[in-house]
Amino acid sequence: MNGSEVKIGLAGIGGYGDAYLESMLPRQKALGSRLVGVVDPQPQRCRRLAELNDAGAPVHATIQELFADSPVDLMLIVTPIHLHAAQTCFALSQGANVSCEKPIAGTLADAARMVEAQAKHPGLFVAIGFQWSFSDAVQALKRDIMAGVLGRPIRMRALGLLPRPLAYFRRNNWAGRMFTADGGGVFDSPVNNAAGHYLHNMFYLLGPTRETSAAPVTVRAELYRANEIENYDTAAIRCRVEGGAEVLFYTSHACGERRGPRSRYEFENAVVEYDALASGQFVARFSDGRTKYYGHPNFDRHEKIWQAIAAVRTGEPVACGVPAALPHALAVAAAHESSEQITEFPARFRRMVHVDGDTMVCVDRLGEDLTACYDRGVLPSELAGLPWAAPAKEVAVTPFFSTHDTAAAHPSRAEGRRGIAPADRASVAVTLHPVATHAPIGAPSAGAPAN
């Protein structure tokens, strides 16, 4: 559809959806696009209702109402995690391309539904909004990795300690939850939400092509909780990926101060580092003394939108679609299976602190301890002197659909294992955590408050 106006729908206009509107509304003419309607059952939460009215974009309560009112070329989905699958599948069924916020979905079962729905519509794309993957900086670094410029990947590390007040977990009815009241899988956590970019980015950089990520083959994850929530707020994860590289990830919402995000990627010929609180660039230092700067991955956080609009016109593949997002979903599922249960931080290490006029739960010295783990490349249970640390088992991950072929989207039925088995008991079926097998109870409402 070269030269044609791209008709856009947006689901979710509160929360992060506001940032979409702020970036898109002034640029519609320049982008050759038009916002034909938005979806939100609670539109009063949106600060830009007057601007939407001026732009002639009606507000609908459900995604079905939007498509009944207007044809849509590109559906932007900026809604809670548990709605991603249902809304993506519906938009595809109506002939629309999709750009869905990260993560791909709350459960592997929902992710499989999205893979299968896209396979039925090979002429349409589904982009997943891990925004670093769309950045010039990450693309330049990935090209050099694929070309072997940095040599064989050895170890990838990332740290994202992002303090969150109590209000963060009270802002909606799904924050910190595993399941919604009606059974929809959310599994909200720093790994699956706020800090998910930094784990995904390591998988993505190691993928063999621009549109794919390397999948984890083993996962060991220690999951901890300081806040009174259903899921965890702190995690330390070790993965081995296809090709043998080690991936280490540390994140928490229960630290008294922000640290990172920062990353250190070790290759046989170079070390690549990133620190958002320093230069904010990916910088490679080669063993022969050369230095190469790849740029800022946050230079344009909305490049994912612009690329999706361009892809509708040109048919060119998006940088991060379903295949690239699946390894992150596999790691999230395997983390629960590895940890088996979430370890509570003992009360003697927890305290309430005031941050920017709000209150948060803080674990004493957690920032220092997780940073020490990051620096040494170990899990908390492997670092001497941490009385709260609890070891986890290693699990082997067998992708139940190919990360390189979106058409091969069928759960494995071998031995009753849906993608995950213990590394030391590969032939023994295990009872999986619901994240690996949960099927939604009924279809979620097509409209919901934006995240």
Q: In the chain, what are the domains?
A: 6-132 (3.40.50.720), 133-299+320-437 (3.30.360.10)
Question: Quick one: which of 138, 371, 348 has its CA closest to 251?
Answer: 371
The percent of residues above 90 in pLDDT, for the chain, comes to 83
Contact 219, 395 (CB under 8 A): yes
What are phi and psi for residue 320, nearest 5 degrees? -125, 100
Contact 87, 96 (CB under 8 A): no
Q: Give yes or no for residue 339 having a pLDDT over 50.
A: yes
pLDDT at 355: 79
First-to-final CA distance of the chain: 32
For the residues 330-352, what does the mean pLDDT come to? 96
Q: Give yes or no for residue 406 having a pLDDT over 80.
A: no
Q: Which residue has the tokens 């963060």?
A: 168
Q: Give yes or no for residue 430 having a pLDDT over 60.
A: no
pLDDT at 448: 40
pLDDT digits (tens, 9 = 90+) for 219-240: 999 999 999 999 999 999 999 9
CA atoms within 13 A on the CB side of 248: 22
Q: Give yes or no for residue 414 having a pLDDT over 60.
A: no
pLDDT digits (tens, 9 = 90+) for 17-72: 999 999 999 999 999 999 999 999 999 889 999 999 999 999 999 999 999 999 99
pTM of the complete model: 0.90
Q: How confident is the model at residue 5 (pLDDT cuts 50, 70, 90)?
A: very high
Contact 111, 440 (CB under 8 A): no
* Three-state DSSP class for residue 70: coil
| Least confidently predicted of 312-316, 393-397, 442-446 | 442-446
pLDDT digits (tens, 9 = 90+) for 357-371: 899 999 999 999 999
> What's the rounded Cα separation, in Å, for the pair 39 and 25?
16
What are phi and psi for residue 266, nearest 5 degrees? -105, 125
